[in-house]
Structure 1
Amino acid sequence: MYIFYKKNFVQPPGCFNKILLIMKLTTLLLIVSIMQVSATSFAQKITLSEKAATLKTVFDKIRSQTGYDFVFVDATIRTIKPFSIQVKNEDLKIVLDKIFEGQPLTYSIEDKSVVVSKKEVTLINRLEDKITSFLRQDSVNYKGTVYNEKGLPLSGATIQLKEGTRITHSTPQGNFVIHGPVKGTLVVSFLGYANKEINVNAKDSDRQLKINMITTASELGEVAIVSTGYQDIPKERATGSFEVITAKQLQHSNDPNLLRRLEGITTSLDFRNTLRPTNSSQKSRIPTIGQMTIRGRNTLGNISITTNTSGWPLIVIDGIASPYGTTAPYSGAEDLINPDDVESVTILKDAASASIWGSRAANGVIVIKTKRGALNRPVRVSFNSSINVAEKVDLFYKPQMTVSDYIDAQKLSFNQEFADPESDGLQDPELFTPQKFTNPVWEIMTLQRKDPNPDNPIYDQQIDALRGNDIRRDFNKYFLQNAMAQRYSLSVDGGSKNVAYRLSGAFNKNNQNTKGSSLNNFSLGYNTTVKLLKNLDFNGGIMYNRQNTDGQYQADQIQATNIGMPFFPYTRLVDDQGNPAVVAKLYRPVYLDLLQQTYGDKILDMSYKPLESINEGYLKGKVHAFNLNLNTVYRLSQVFSANVAYNYSKVLNGSTELRRQDSWYMRELINRFTSPDGARNIPLGGLLVTRNAESDRHTLRGLLNVNKTWSDKHSLSAIAGVDISQDYNKQHNNQYYGYDENTLYTSNLLNYATGYSFLFPDLDGNFSSAIPVAGDARIGFSDSRLRLFSVFSNAAYTYNNRYTISGSIRKDGSSQFGLKTNKSGTPYFSFGAGWNIDKEAFYKLTWLPSLKFRATYGYNGNVNSSTLPRTVIRYSVLSGLSSPTLLPFATTTNAPNRALRPERTGMLNLGFDFGFKNNRISGSIEYYDKRTVDLIGSNPVDPNTGFNSISFNSGNLHGYGVDFTLNSVNLVTGAFRWESTFRLSYNRVKLTKLFVPPVSNVGQRFGSTFNVGYDLTSLFAYKWGGLDPETGDPRVISNGEAVTVDGTDFEVMAAIDEGPVSDLRYMGSSVAVYFGSFQHTFSYRSFTLSANIMYKLGYYTRRPISDIVGYGFLFPEFIGQGTLLGAEYSQRWQKPGDELKTNVPSQVYQNAINNTARDNYYQFADINVIRADHIRLQEINLGYSFKTGSRFIKNPRVYANINNLGILWRANKLGIDPDINDYPQPRTYNLGFSANF
């Protein structure tokens, strides 16, 4: 272990040495625990958890736990098929009775041996059977065949008359014959399968009965236990809303991100995929946890900001809340978890299930349990490997304005800009006049106007040559690639009588869809359970994760899916010989020529070649995460137990950005800060920017558990405990000019206070400035410390396995709360009730044998991370002329608020769980109603306070919805089986109160992110009034009339903004109101095929801006210059009468501000809002399990997966994917292999 880290692990600086020491010592301790040998005498309490095990295997497990030997003849047990059994701390006799129930075998215990023999029918039984036959006048034989769930013959099944003693067993071919009455009931049973009753009569004696057995719940993987993170609860006694996803269900996807695997296989969990743009950089992408909502959001926090975790669900891993913290906003905890290490994921959706987490639970809780070893288990090795290939982003997916139309628009705008026939177009370059580059078409037309022979066809030929270019082809060839991910996972687990262990490791290598971009993960984990004493157990776990990312440096970053400056739709990246082409960037080429002629070798070459420049730097990220769990459990008695747990986690998140000297960014910067005599105020070399964040978290927990069952009717389960935790986060950023990669030399002793004269003006017309400091480096040092203290209790009582009542209470104190709240804050509580209706004596519905009702109510909280209760003072040093002394100064960034308290959400949840006969149809339906109070929002205050606004508790929300799940076994015939799961969620969240001045006009409504009385994700639009018949300008409805907006009349635009709110049209929610999936699984012998169809309904979205004309993009000063104007450009209004057949405004050329203002009234009109409803085929999975008699390899399986197959139906007719509103996620193909050894 030590050698591995020494050779391959890049050791971070500072206190991480201590982490490595802890890892080594802890690992040594845990490995030593494996080696111990127990001399404890054999006990007769047995714990088994076996699936598809042979009788001999089960005998071996019992022998290892009890010391009892089994005596049998191989031929006697050979016909017994594998079965499943789960028992915990049961007596030997009880376990044996369960094993031999329904089997053609019996047993006897002699000393320390169990003797197994065939079950013989006694003389008394035969005599009783004869008498019963005579009295019942038996006269027929019933014959048939018994099949398992895969349609294969089931040998050794027990067939008996429901009344009487007559019994027989199926042959190895599954056949049976039994003599019985002309009318009766046959009961077929087999261990691991649900009993089946068949009503028969004399007519059935003439045919061969076909009996298909169904595996029991444990065989199908139905969850019997749910977890809150603090305790495990039997499902039949749970009153809250839990949804459990098993390890087997997680296999539907091969996504290395655990949380992404939850999409489409749960209810209530909605993914905001618009927050995951295709081809976005890793740094700008919001973590997956920030893209998810559970039953909607319960806060006003802006989830589009990567550092604002308010509104995110809480992640709990092995009982610890977010052990990896949130200091790695670009690499959430979900990226650091190996999905193959996960045993189950439980989603806590209501107050009863989640309120135990108090002030962090209002937005839902996701509880992740990792796999562990088991006592008395032989060594088992599990291996899983896969390769995933994704198609390139389809840059031609979206309809776009043609290149030829774009050139014509630029020609028209040139003629409008320089309408004076005496004008020569763009001015001649002057050394001290800013010379911002416009576009190649304007440059060519300028040369044409200056030419004494403007009719020379060469100019039109040059422009026409551009029409044949399409930069998307070059982007596709030189920047994009097929993303490829390779995953390898290996684990070893097992255990002796007193020690259980599991060691696992995984490596993911991902080459992303942009060349030069990659993301690699490595994880290594170990956990153990040691029975130190008779009543004392120790559980320990250690996990190390490393993640590396590589990508383009940001200064000259190129995103192939975003055409804009310095690129135009017709830009070429290579010349006719295939060499990297020069592309004009920022400055006009003729101006750069002038600079070169004037200063010669005093300045560096300023030509920009994109294909070379992107290799002149990098952005590398590195995350190291370490997590240590220690837990001791002492059983005080059969009723009481106590445990003390400690968790320590550390995350180091760093990034290094290098902009080499040869990068265009550095060449331009060095040249601009060069003196006319050639002296350089910024030294030659690169610029290295470092960003380092560090997080330390300590959690200490004390817990008392109560579990008591008495009189076979009463059951009590309760916990009470204390949590103490501290998070310490710090950040340090810096930059180094003159960096040399070979010598590691820097020239960082620069004067950041002095203003230097520029060799040439920048594009804003400035002639001097201080040496710039990179944005992140300005942060310098920062740190924060968060402490949390909690006391809590939870209890549930069950009577007669029918009635359950539960309750919980928790009180949190935190440094994020105000002093007044910490002293007298309201605790979080819940109570619930469950009623197993099917266990009532009056319940007689044989077609619906399973029915349960649940009801809960309680409060959860949410800590809004956007504000703090105390005054925050920030010390800063500004570089540049504004701070020539470089002395620090202080600003107050947060006002004190002693009464600041968490947002509180009260939720009512009502639910039914049901199951039809033989579980052919089962499911659940839940209704919930939630009300959030004390929302934290920014509110205007008297400026005399020193602040323009202060955040305090000032709003309410009302949410409600339904979750529905329906499982069905549609068809079982022979070896073929078809199962389905339909999931539906309905959710609305509306803002009911906000302590701000009421919205009274159109401008205020459009400027408000949140609107009282509407959906939290409300979408408003101007009422479209058509086009002006004379000018083609857009018109909107204001005060009941169509008003023309030409972009120049600011009084008209002001009047529209001051109009009544009713002038706007409320379109609806911008987030799906209905969503869910329809999953199908087909199995035939060893083959399994599944498909998942997902849908989102009842919401709206605006058309992508790239689809809509925007004439502001034509102006050189506009930031989006170079962007296509929209595919509908060719449909624009051009002459009177066109308004009758188009809504696309005419092209005008005024200025960037006026054009953009005019564009907005069209772009944000209701005609450009579309229904976002759609249904998509998300994935198809195919698996094949090999049958092997090898003792070395077990359960070998190959599998294949296709993901992101496409939309089956959409409400809009424009071909827009509303779930992304961008280029669609590329289709991915996955092939893998797994096996146990």
Structure 2
Amino acid sequence: MYIFYTKKLWTPPRSIAKLLLIMRLTTIILITAIIQVSASSFAQKITLSEKNTPLVKVFDKIRAQSGVDFLVSTSMLQHAKRVTIQVKNAELADVLEEIFEGQNLDFAINDKSVVVSKKTPGFLDRVVSAFVDINVRGRVVDSAGNVLPGATVKIRGTDRVGRTNENGVFNFAGVDEDAVLEISYLGYKLKAVKVSTDLGDISLEVLTGELTEVNVVSTGYQTLSKERSTGSFERIGEKTLNNKISQNIFNKIEGEVAGVTTDAAGKFIVRGLSSIRANTDPLIVVDGFPVEQEANTINPNDVESITILKDAAAASIWGIRAANGVIVITTKRAARNGKLNVRASVNTAFTPKQDLFATPLGDAATQVAYHKAMYEVGGYYLPSQLYSGVLNGSSGRVINPVGETLLLRDRGDITAAEAENRLQQLANTDIRKEYMDLIQQTESWRQYNVSVSGGSKNYDFTTSASYNGNDKEFVSTGAKQYLLNFANSFNPFKGLKIDGSLNFSQSKENFPASTTADGISSVGVNNSTTFLNNVPINGRILDEEGNYVPMESILSFGAQSSNLALSRGFPYSWTYNIKQELENTNNVLRETALRMQTGATYTFLKGLDFSMKYQYEWGQRNNVDLHNEQTLFTRARVNMFSKLTSGVVSGYNIDPGAILDTDVRNQRAHTFRSQLNFDRSFDEGKHQVVAIAGYEVRKTLFDRATDRKYGFNEQSLTSIRPDFRPTVVPAVSLTTITTVPPNSMNEYIENRFISYYANGAYTYDNRYTISASTRLDDTNLFGTSSKYKNIPLYSIGFKWNVYNDFFKESEVVDDLQFRTTYGTNGNVDRSTSPFLQAKIKRGFPPFNGMSADIISVPNPELRLEKTGTLNVGADFTLFDRFVMGSAEYYVKNSEDLLAFTTLNPTLGVTGALINNGTLRNEGFDLNLRFRVLENSQFSYATTGIFSVNKNTLKKVDVPNKQVFEYVNGTVAESGAALRTIYSYQYRGLDVKGAPRFANELGDIVDVKTFINSTDALVKHGSLIPKFYGSWINDFTYRNFYLRALTTFKAGHVFRYARNNNVTYIPAVSVKAPSANVAADFNQRWQKPGDEQFTDIPGLPTLVDRQQGTGYDYYRDSDKFVDNASFIRLSQLNLGYSLDKKLVDRLVML
């Protein structure tokens, strides 16, 4: 401080003094005016209302109101604290004082500028700090400025460790001024910071390839803080999804979530099956709305997160569709005030051709031996099968070349030496190599994706485009798909937000030769396994000159019979060749899907808003299957229904020309929802209330039309309609069909839903949370009985934050929360109806009118299947975040399950689906994550996921159950799990090489004994795994990351395929031998005494074939059921993240 001392040296005359006084006053007035004018240019009143706002944004708002400029370097603002301020019409200087309080910054007003500088400690402060320790304060945030509560802050070289509070703030007292802090948080890079009294905001960078802790989950109706939710949620974040490459978003779920597995068909099962006959698929929700469309309409690159709702508290808000769990998909949205982001990706994958030699199938010599043995047994190959100059369905067909050779030898057409030579050639001929070269191709898919997003203060948008190209298993088959997505939102004025999105998908897929079912046996071979089941490997596809070789098919003849048919006026050749069929197929499926969403949300006051949303879905599946005149599909049908006069073709019931099959399916869905949302805290956060209430109406429509055009001309697009009414006897009987199949059908289904729902949760002092929800669904799928209509579903829940009560000072427990819920969900079977259902059809002559078949009788007591779920869980973090995890126990009791029940025959039907089943699922989910090592260079974390589910059918009224239902795993049996399979008890071979079995009394019976008691069967277990889970290992080293995902399933069984390609099974129930046989045919019983060394039956004699039903039991015996448990390395992902500076230089975001 400066002090000036003055002394009067001279007293001026009175007149001069008066003049000087006037001059002084004038000067003062001028200076005051000047100062006032100067001040008025930046002394406007300032009004601010900011909460946790970056300092630089506060500067922008002050500049906009006052015109003042801020002079400050970017580096000074890196550690500046966020600002919370509430002022109205305040002076600039006062506002600046409040803003800079607590900051490690100082300011000075200079004309129209505010100069910001780093605060310099005073002399006394510097003297004191040289002798005493300092107090350290800071706040830990992520790159977006979000606070990170529970982050670990350690003083390097000491055992002093602290954690950030719920606001991300930490404090240390008495710290050496030269000390260094090490700050860590799960999923973020370790950061070292030199201490100072006020460190401001310390930003942590995300570890590449590392899972981050999830704090927010979405139910589809609302977004909840996981810390205050009582339900069971599992969330898969964007980084995990990005680490898995797939065209199908649902393929990225497996192994990532406890309590979720898949069955043999790849369908998801959430905590066990909850229905006997109704749909068991979980409900799929995309951006808040349930979707009817297929998974391939969702671009996996657009997905930000997937949340699995597993218990009633989490899923009950979805009511009658949530018993099987809910999968909530949230797509990416742009950030406001964000710069333009452009992302591009290219993914590709290859699947090598299926190696047909790497199968249990025997080699070519084994196939020759098999068919020779079948021929010698007798009854399988007959002389009448050979061409005899007569055109009929029982001779002149293509038969196995071994059997044909032996038949020609015995008929005298060739000598024994010629036959032996042929058999030797066949033993050296294997069609599999030719098939792999001519028919198969390397499967591959390519995905190109680009997205653009950005935003301003009041607007944001995201748009993406993706292309998928696929090469399928067969040559000339494949698919391509285009996906477009656009989403945006804007605030036209304060309080109102309007958003909208559009998703469009269009695909085209070429399929192999058609297998259209029109009552006539289909001829297509649509995969390699089917090929091996039907085509002898001793044959050929092309001969030495490249001509098509006639091959076996139900609707074809050999070359001689085909030539005979042509000579009698039949319009087409009657032979089949798989290559010819593929080259002429034109089976195209086009799918188009459109999903549009729009909505508006208005905020009335803080924490209270009202929203209205609407979604429209439209999808079309258009299958055009053109069978030109070169396909056997067309040639066989036209030939069969030709008109004959004296054995010569005189006309046609089906005119020559192509056959065009069309199948068009349209699906539409409308959903409207209005919802009131409340989210508010009181008393400085001590009381937190979150609640929603809403109304929803939904309608789904489905229609389908199939049609067939005969005599179709591809150029003129004309066709010739045959007369479908009169009975037509096929000229050559290759089928039991006696009329020209019209193959036309029309179908229409409409379902309507009206729902009312509410959900609320209250949290006290961040320690205790209670929640409750209810939903009332009404639909046309329920019966007319008021007893079963309008039944509300509900849930209640409680959560206790034990850590905040007992463990705040603990060095072991970082977090501990207990939660429990109970509630009800529902399930609806859309195939049933409370009303009479009938199928209209055209009658056969002489009754050519329309008739109807009753599908189901009226059931006014038809009601929803209801599942009550109890869930008890704990979430914990231990040992300085070394261990994180959750453990949950649940019980699901499902009642009123639909099961097929026998009815009084006088009702006109033998049975119907009635609500009469009860099912129980009990299980445990465990999720443990260990942060083994983490420093600035290297990190390693491992996660173990384990689930167990016990599924038991408690009650079902299904009388007259048959043995074959048990064997096939289709029976619902009280006391057993769903999809439990049973088998005959195999007891080896007798002295004649025939199989033996145990009956219901445990006695061994021979192959001729009929077993009709279910007590004779052995129960193996379910086809659904009881135990499942995964082991995930995440490694990072600098910019490299490695992820290994190992999955396992156990506690279930499987049955070997019931054909000779997998294991040799003597053919009995069919009149022809299998096309091929497995290699263990060579280990079969062949002579007395072999039963001591093998359990593979010998070939049955003709008498045994006719009388020995036990040969059929053999293929369904316990010999062919095995443990299905496995451990599989499902994913191994190695990547490298480019340095951010390099990325910025390349302008890649």
TM norm. shorter chain > 0.5: yes
Q: Does 1:1010 align with 2:972?
A: yes
Cα offset, 1:1069, TM superposition: 2.5
Query: Who is 1:275 aligned against?
Result: 265
Secondary structure in structure 2 of the residue aligned to 1:983: strand
Provide closer, same or farther for how the CA distance between residues 1173 and 1116 of structure 1 changes in structure 2, counting only shifts above 3 A. closer
1:1103-1152 deviation per Cα after TM superposition (whole angstroms, max 9, x unaligned): 3334554555488745xx54433332111111222222211111114389
Listed as ranges, the matches of 1:694-843 within 5 Å are 694-712=666-684, 713-747=686-720, 749-762=721-734, 769-774=738-743, 777=744, 780-820=745-785, 824-841=789-806, 843=808
| Shift in CA distance, 193/517, structure 1 to aligned 2, threshold 3 Å | closer
- TM-aligned CA deviation for residue 381 of structure 1: 1.3
8 Å Cα contact 2:208/2:1137 also seen in 1? no
* Counterpart in the other structure of 1:576: 544
Shift of 1:572: 1.2
Is 1:539 the counterpart of 2:511? The answer is no
User: Counterpart of 1:485 in 2: which secondary structure?
Assistant: strand
State the Cα distance separating 1:1041 from its structure 2 match. Answer: 4.3
> SS at 1:1015's partner residue?
coil
Residue 428 of structure 2 is aligned to residue 468 of structure 1: yes
Q: What is the letter of the counterpart of residue 410 of structure 1?
A: H
Q: Contact between 1:1112 and 1:1155, CA under 8 Å: does it hold in 2?
A: no
Residue 1076 of structure 1 and its aligned partner are, at CA, apart by 1.1
Q: Is the 8 A contact 2:993 2:1086 kept in 1?
A: yes
Work out whether residues 437 and 587 of structure 1, in 8 Å CA contact, stay in contact via their aligned partners in 2: no
Bigger CA drift: 597-606 or 788-797? 597-606
- Using the alignment, how far apart are the partners of 2:966 and 2:187 within structure 1? 65
Q: In structure 1, what is the Cα distance between the partners aligned to 2:315 and 2:532?
A: 47
Q: 1:924 aligns with which of 860, 864, 886?
A: 886
| 2:72 counterpart residue number | 72
Counterpart of 1:623 in structure 2 is 591
The counterpart of 2:524, out of the listed 550, 557, 582, is 557
CA distance, structure 1, for counterparts of residue 82 and residue 301 of structure 2: 23
Give the total of aligned pairs.
1051
Is contact 1:1080–1:1092 with CA below 8 Å preserved after alignment? yes
Q: In structure 1, what is the equivalent of residue 626 of structure 2?
A: 658
1:521-536 residue pairs with structure 2 within 5 A?
521-536=481-496
CA-CA distance at 1:427 after TM superposition: 7.5
Q: Give the match for residue 18 of structure 1.
A: none
AA aligned opposite 1:1101: F
Q: Measured at CA, do residues 1001 and 1181 of structure 1 come closer, stay the same or move farther in structure 2, by a change above 3 Å? A: closer
Alignment identity in percent? 28
| Residue in structure 2 matched with residue 299 of structure 1 by the alignment | 275
> Alpha-carbon deviation of 1:892?
2.4
CA distance in 2, matches of 1:349, 1:869: 30
What secondary structure is seen at the aligned counterpart in 2 of 1:561? Answer: helix
Q: 1:381 to 1:681 in 2, by over 3 A?
A: same
Q: 1:469 to 1:75 in 2, by over 3 A?
A: same
Distance (Å, rounded) in 1 between the aligned partners of 2:96 and 2:541: 76
1: CA distance, partners of 2:669 / 2:851: 31
Letter in 2 for 1:794: N
Kept after mapping to 2: 8 A contact 1:265/1:1077 = yes
**What amino acid is the match of 1:1073?**
K
Q: Which runs of 5+ in 2 are unaligned?
A: 1-45, 144-151, 161-172, 195-201, 516-522
- Structure 1 position 1147 matched with structure 2 position 1099: yes
Counterpart amino acid of residue 224 in structure 2 = I
Question: Could you report, residue by residue, the CA deviation over 1:485-512 in whole angstroms, capped at 9, with x for unpaired residues?
Answer: 1111111111121111112111111112
Deviations 1:694-747 (A, max 9, x none): 112111111011122110200101001001011111111111011122222211
Equivalent residue in structure 2 for 1:313, among 282, 298, 305: 282
Q: Which residue identity is paired with 2:361?
A: Q
Residue aligning to 1:491: 451
For residues 876-906 of structure 1, the C-alpha deviation after alignment (integer angstroms, 9 at most, x for no partner) is: 224xxx2456422223222111111111111
How many Å separate the matches in 1 of 2:530 and 2:100?
68
Matched residue, 1:912: 874
Deviates more, 1:816-825 or 1:990-999: 816-825
Q: Deviations over 1:156-200 (max 9, x none)?
A: x9998999x9xxxxxxxxxxxx99689x997555999999999x9
Structure 1's 870 and 113: CA in aligned 2 closer, same or farther, altered over 3 A? farther
AA aligned to 2:1050 is: L
2:1025 alignment counterpart: 1072
Deviation at 1:786, TM superposition (A): 0.4
Deviations 1:943-974 (A, max 9, x none): 01111102111000010111111112222355
C-alpha displacement of 1:544? 1.3
Change (3 A) 1:97 1:641: farther
> 1:572 is paired with a residue of what secondary structure?
coil
* Aligned match of 2:837: 872
Q: TM-score, normalised by structure 1?
A: 0.78
Q: Which residue of 1 aligns with 2:1078?
A: 1126
Tell me which residue corresponds to 1:680: 652
Moved more, 704-713 or 390-399: 390-399
Q: 2:931 matched to which residue of 1?
A: 969
Q: Distance in 2 between matches of 1:99 and 1:220?
A: 37
Distance across 1 between alignment mates of 2:62 and 2:467:
37
1:232 equivalent to 2:237? Answer no
The amino acid that maps onto 1:352 is A
Q: Which residue of 2 aligns with 1:845?
A: 810
Give deviations 1:439-483, integer Å, cap 9, x for gaps: 22222112111227743x111111221111222222211222111
Aligned mates of 1:1156, 1:71 — CA distance in 2: 99
Distance in 1 (alpha carbons) for counterparts of 2:216 and 2:682: 21
Q: Is the 8 A contact 2:445 2:470 kept in 1?
A: yes
Contact 1:877 1:883 in 2 (8 A): no
- Normalising by the residue count of structure 2, what TM-score does the alignment of the two structures yield? 0.84
Equivalence map 1:252-271=2 (5 Å): 252-271=243-262
Q: Which residue of 2 is the match for residue 634 of structure 1?
A: 602
Letter in 1 for 2:869: M
Q: Distance in 1 between matches of 2:992 and 2:1035?
A: 61
Where does 1:189-268 land on structure 2 (aligned, <5 Å)? 221-268=212-259
Matched-pair contact (CA < 8 Å) for 1:853–1:911: yes
| Secondary structure at 1:415 match in 2 | helix
Conserved? CA contact 1:1100–1:1172, under 8 Å: yes
1:614/1:1173 Cα in 2 relative to 1: closer, same or farther (>3 Å)? same
Q: Which secondary structure does the structure 2 equivalent of 1:665 belong to?
A: helix
Between the aligned partners of 1:931 and 1:67, the Cα distance in structure 2 is 67
- Cα distance, 1:604 vs structure 2: 1.7
- Decide whether aligned partners of structure 1 residues 59 and 430 sit closer, same or farther in structure 2, where only a CA change above 3 A counts: farther
CA contact (8 A) 2:555 2:734 kept: no
Determine helix, strand or coil for the equivalent of 2:1088. Answer: coil
Question: What is the one-letter code of the residue matched to 1:106?
Answer: L
> CA RMSD for the aligned pairs?
4.2
**Distance apart, 1:225 and its partner CA:** 0.8
Change (3 A) 1:405 1:344: same
- Shift of residue 591 of structure 1? 7.8
CA separation in 2, counterparts of 1:98 and 1:1017?
70
Give unpaired runs (5+ residues) of structure 1: 1-40, 50-54, 150-156, 166-177, 201-210, 277-290, 303-309, 326-331, 1196-1234
Aligned ranges 1:1094-1133 → 2 under 5 Å: 1094-1106=1047-1059, 1109=1063, 1111=1065, 1113=1067, 1117=1071, 1122-1133=1074-1085
Structure 1 residues 896, 875: CA separation in 2 closer, same or farther (over 3 Å shift)? same
Cα distance in 1 between the residues matched to 2:659 and 2:1130 = 44
CA distance in 2, matches of 1:980, 1:645: 41
Residues 697 and 239 from structure 1, CA distance in 2 versus in 1: closer, same or farther, beyond 3 angstroms? same
Distance change (3 Å), C-alpha of 1:123 and 1:960: farther
| Whole-Å separation in 1 of the counterparts to 2:728 and 2:231 | 67
* CA distance 1:1116–1:1100, change in 2 (3 Å): closer
Residues 1:212 and 1:861: Cα distance change in structure 2 (over 3 Å): closer
**2: CA distance between counterparts of 1:116 and 1:607?**
91
1:1186 corresponds, among 1109, 1134, 1138, to 1138
Q: Secondary structure at the match of 1:554?
A: coil
Contact 2:303 2:331 in 1 (8 A): yes
- Alignment check: 8 A CA contact 2:699 2:750 kept: yes
